[in-house]
Amino acid sequence: MDFGFKLSPSSAINLDKVDLSRFEKLHGIEPDIIKCMACGSCTSSCPANRFSGMSLRKVILDLQRGREKEALGMLRNCMLCGKCTMVCPRGINTRHLILSICRIYGEDGK
């Protein structure tokens, strides 16, 4: 019998199976990535957010969860304007962080 719906696959992430070696390498270069408290100041000041959903805190969370493809897809929308750096309460140089993410995760063409 067809009820018109079906179960969608689970979106659970098994963190025990996630390879975080690149995130650890990023943390070695950019220790500020751990200082982020996910307050959302960067996202609210981002001009690209209104049109593309760009969110640096989502990028950082995706990287910590091993969802590299989603994080890099979102970073393609960043204009590197630097507004997020000016409003960060923790003083994180977000532009430098974004460039480091692109350099480390883009090394092998992924």
- Per residue, the 3-state secondary structure of 67-109, as one string, reads CHHHHHHHHCCCCCCCHHHHHCCCCCCHHHHHHHHHHHHCCCC
pLDDT of 107 over the 70 cut = no
**C-alpha dihedral sign at 79, 82, 83, 89:** positive
Cα Rg of the chain (Å, integer) = 16
pLDDT of 109 over the 80 cut = no
Angle between helices 21-29 and 56-64 (to 10 degrees): 130
pLDDT tens across 15-65, in order? 788 888 999 999 999 999 999 999 999 999 999 998 998 999 999 999 999
- Domains and their CATH numbers in the chain: 20-105 (1.10.1060.10)
- pLDDT at residue 27 in the model: 94
pLDDT band with cut points at 50, 70 and 90 for residue 110:
very low
pTM equals: 0.81
Percent of the chain topping pLDDT 70? 96
